[in-house]
Amino acid sequence: MIDVYSWPTPNGRKIHIMLEETGLDYMVHAVNIGKGDQFKPDFMKLSPNHRIPAILDHDGPDGKPIGLFESGAILIYLADKTGRFLPEEPRAKYETLQWLMFQMGGVGPMFGQSNHFSHYAVDKIPYAIDRYHNECKRLYGVMDKRLGEAEYLAGDGYTIADIATHPWAQGFERRDVDITEYPNVKRWIEVIHERPAVIRGNEVLANERSSGNFTAEEREVLFGKTQFEKH
Ligand SMILES: N[C@@H](CCC(=O)N[C@@H](CS)C(=O)NCC(=O)O)C(=O)O
């Protein structure tokens, strides 16, 4: 049984979808990041970076419980545990890890900054808005080229690289990206969107999904001094 500490953001949804795809037994515990649950000591024992998602697998590799944070590490762990969505053959495996890291180091952080400066920042700073909007479009372009050569990011099969990237890529409207300029990404988004496990994973904690219109208290927790205090 796996305890999942999460919230219905793209990084949380990756794990909800992977758990649904693999059929593992899990229980979700909501960590309301707008209310500051990410700073609670029990959660921070699992996730010292005070970010969701985190998991506690009571049946770790040595039979003992194991806690993990960072969605990419969790996806690799769950893939290893089940033998699903991360090929064993070395070439295919590293191809998958390469595109997973592209999501973790590129798509996630850049799309996140674009959301921040375009939607959340009180000061609308044109340089920052343009910088991250252009970076988003550049990354959609990289994905489009790749998905013009291969059906999925890592090749012929659906892998943890797609599971990590799809929850971010599907939010193109919010990022003011015209997806028809990226027809291969559009095709890939639509195909993955119809997977039953993706539909189920996207429903996890769905009633908690934020409109992005944060209250003053939520803004303080997410962007204010609470973030930068010693915890
Ligand atoms: N690299 C981390 C990023 C996790 C992350 O940024 N999580 C966000 C939600 S998507 C969070 O917990 N934010 C809480 C906060 O900013 O205090 C991962 O992939 O797990």
Torsion sign over Cα 177, 182, 187, 192: negative
The answer on 169 and 96 residing in a single domain is yes
pLDDT for position 211: 83
The whole-angstrom separation of Cα 1 and Cα 11 is 21
Residue type, 14: K
Domain that residue 151 falls in: 90-193
The answer on 72 and 6 residing in a single domain is yes
- Hunting for tokens 């998602």 — which residue is that? 53
> From ligand 1's centre to the CA of 109, what distance in Å?
10
Residue type, 52: I
202 has a pLDDT exceeding 90: yes
The answer on 97 and 48 residing in a single domain is no
pLDDT for position 69: 98
What is the tally of structural domains in the chain? 2
Question: Is 185:140 a contact under the CB 8 Å cutoff?
Answer: yes
> From ligand 1's centre to the CA of 33, what distance in Å?
9
Per DSSP, what are the bridge partners of residue 68?
55
Question: Is 85:28 a contact under the CB 8 Å cutoff?
Answer: no
- Hunting for tokens 């559009």 — which residue is that? 186
The whole-angstrom separation of Cα 77 and Cα 96 is 14
**Closest among 85, 83, 67, 94 to 18, alpha carbons compared:** 85
The H or E element containing residue 2 is: strand 2-6
Write out pLDDT tens, residues 144-175.
999 999 999 999 999 999 999 999 999 999 99
- Three-state SS letters, 114-166: HHHHHHHCCCCCHHHHHHHHHHHHHHHHHHHHHHHHCCECCECCCCHHHHHHH
Pocket test for ligand 1, best of 15, 16, 52 (most atoms within 8 A of CB): 52
- CATH of residue 64's domain is 3.40.30.10
- CATH of residue 172's domain is 1.20.1050.10
Given 46, 63, 84, which residue is the final one in a domain? Answer: 84
Structural domain contains residue 19 = yes
> From ligand 1's centre to the CA of 71, what distance in Å?
9
| 78 three-state secondary structure | helix
> From ligand 1's centre to the CA of 56, what distance in Å?
17
b/e sequence 146-155, b meaning 16+ C-beta within 10 Å: bbeeeebbbb
The answer on 96 and 185 residing in a single domain is yes
Write out pLDDT tens, residues 81-97.
999 999 999 999 999 99
The answer on 39 and 112 residing in a single domain is no
213 has a pLDDT exceeding 90: no
Structural domain contains residue 156 = yes
The whole-angstrom separation of Cα 159 and Cα 65 is 26
Percent of the chain that is helix, strand, coil (3-state, to 5): 60, 10, 30
Atom 4 (ligand 1) nearest CA: 51
Given 84, 101, 117, which residue is the final one in a domain? Answer: 84
Does ligand 1 have an atom closer than 6 angstroms to the CB of 52? yes
43 has a pLDDT exceeding 90: yes
Does this model's pTM top 0.95? My answer is yes
Does ligand 1 have an atom closer than 6 angstroms to the CB of 75? no
| Burial (Cβ within 10 Å: 0-12, 13-18, ≥19) of residue 10 | buried
Torsion sign over Cα 96, 5, 19, 146: negative
Structural domain contains residue 219 = no
Mean pLDDT, to the nearest integer, of 181-206?
98
Instruction: Output the CA angle 158-150-203, nearest 5 degrees.
Output: 35
100 has a pLDDT exceeding 90: yes
